[in-house]
Amino acid sequence: MSRSERKIDHIRHALGHEREFHNHFDDVQIVHQSLAELDFHQISIASQVGELNLSSPLFVNAMTGGGGRETERINRELAVVAKQAGISMAVGSQMSALKNPEERRTYEVVREENPEGILFANVGSEATPDQAVEAVRMLGANALQIHINTLQELIMPEGDRDFTKRSVNIKRILERSPVPVIVKEVGYGMSKETVDKLYDMGVRYIDVGGRGGTNFSKVENMRRERPFASFNNWGIPTPSSILENAARYSDLHLFASGGIRNGLDGSKALVLGAQAFGMAGALLKVLVEEGPDNLLSAVDHIHQEVKMAMMLLNCTKTQELKGKPYVLYGQTKDWYDQRNP
C-alpha cells in the first residue's frame, strides 16, 4: 500500500472506529462558583502560549494531508473554517510531501486559504533538520509539531522499527527550527518521565496527546490480518497526562489533545493546567458528515461553551482558568494519587 493510500485508509478507519466507553474528562468536575461578577461580552478567549498569540485556545489538531485530492479537499475546507473562526490549525504529517513533491499541494492549500492564520507544520521524529525546515517553509508555518508515535508504528504493518536516532533528531531540529517546536504524542499521552527527558533536550512546548480520542492502536489493528488487540487500551488518558506535567516547569508550555469532545472538556483541560486544547477526529467527523458550514457552527458553539465556563468561574482571560478549584473521581483520581504520593 502506498503512503497516500495509507493516509486515506487512516481517515476512513479513524471516522469509523468506536471511542472508549468512558471518557476521563468525566472524572474531572469543576467546582461551581455561584457569584458571577462579569459581563459575558467582555470575556476574551485569546490565548498566549509562549511565543504564540492565539485568538482562541482551540486549535484544529493534526489530521491529514498527503493523500491526494481527497486530503487536499479536506485540508482546504478545514483551513477555510479555521480562518473564519479565528482558530489555529495543524496539518497531518508532511513526510509524504517531503518524499513525494506531488503531495505538497495537499498541504500548501492550507496557507493559501488562510494567509494570515496561525499554522503548525508537522513531521515525524525520524525527520532530518533539513526536512523539518522545509516542512515549515512549505506552509509558512508559525510553529512545528514533531509527532511521537512509537506504538502506532509498531502496530502498523509497514511501520518503523528503529527508534535509536529519535532523540538526536529532535535535538537537531530544535537547533535548526526557525519557529517554536511542539513535541506531541498521537494518543498515548506523555508521562512526567518523558517530559523530563524532552525538557532536558531543550523542548519547551508539549502536546500531551493523551488517550481518549482517535485510537491509532485500533486504527492500525483494523489494517492487520492478525491484530495486536492487547494494546488497544494502551496509554495515559489526557487529564492524567496534563496533571502529570502542568506544574513541572514554569517555562513549559502545555497543549492538551485527545478525547476533548466540547468546550467544557477544553475548559477542564485549561483548569488542570494546559494553555490550549486541540481537537481532531470530532471536528473531522462534523466536516465529512455535515459540511463546512456546520463545522463553523460547531466551532462557535465550542467557543461559547468555553466562555460560559469562564463566566461561571469569574475569568476574563483563559489563562485565569488554570488552578481554579476542581474535584477528581475514579481512575483519574487513582492515577493522580499513585503518581503524586
Q: Examine the pLDDT at 10 and tell me if it is beyond 90.
A: no
Separation of alpha carbons 66 and 92, rounded Å: 8
The strand pairing partners of 327, in sequence order, are: 29
Q: What would the mean pLDDT of 285-306 be, rounded to a whole number?
A: 97
The mean per-residue pLDDT over the stretch 311-336 comes to: 98
Percent of the chain at pLDDT exceeding 70: 94
Comparison of pLDDT for 280 and 220, the residue scoring more: 280
pLDDT attached to residue 8: 54
Residue 341 has pLDDT above 80, yes or no: no
Q: What is the span of the domain harbouring residue 259?
A: 3-339
Residue 19 banded pLDDT, cuts 50, 70, 90: low
Residue 217: closest CA among 154, 260, 169: 154
What the block records as the C-alpha cell of 35 is 457569584
DSSP per position, 291-327: -HHHHHHHHHHHHHHHHHHHHHTT-SBGGGGTT--EE
Note the pLDDT of residue 66.
73
14/127: higher pLDDT: 127
Q: What is the mean pLDDT of residues 49-54?
A: 97
Q: What is the CATH number of the domain that holds 33?
A: 3.20.20.70
Q: pTM for this structure?
A: 0.94
What single letter denotes the amino acid at residue 34?
S
Sign of CA dihedral 252, 206, 260, 26: negative
Count CB neighbours of 238 within 10 A. Answer: 34
Find the mean pLDDT for residues 273-297. 96
Q: From CA 167, how far away is CA 265, in angstroms rounded?
A: 32
Higher model confidence: residue 95 or residue 15?
Answer: 95
For residue 15, name the pLDDT band (cuts at 50, 70, 90).
low
Task: List, for residues 64-114, the tens digit of each pLDDT value.
Answer: 877 788 899 999 999 999 999 999 999 999 999 999 999 999 999 999 999
Mean pLDDT of 9-21: 62
Q: What average pLDDT does range 325-334 have in this prediction?
A: 98
User: 218 versus 195: which is more confidently predicted?
Assistant: 195
Separation of alpha carbons 266 and 260, rounded Å: 6
Specify the number of domains making up the chain: 1
- Which range, of 1-10, 31-40, 209-218, 249-258, averages the lowest pLDDT? 1-10
pLDDT score of 282:
93
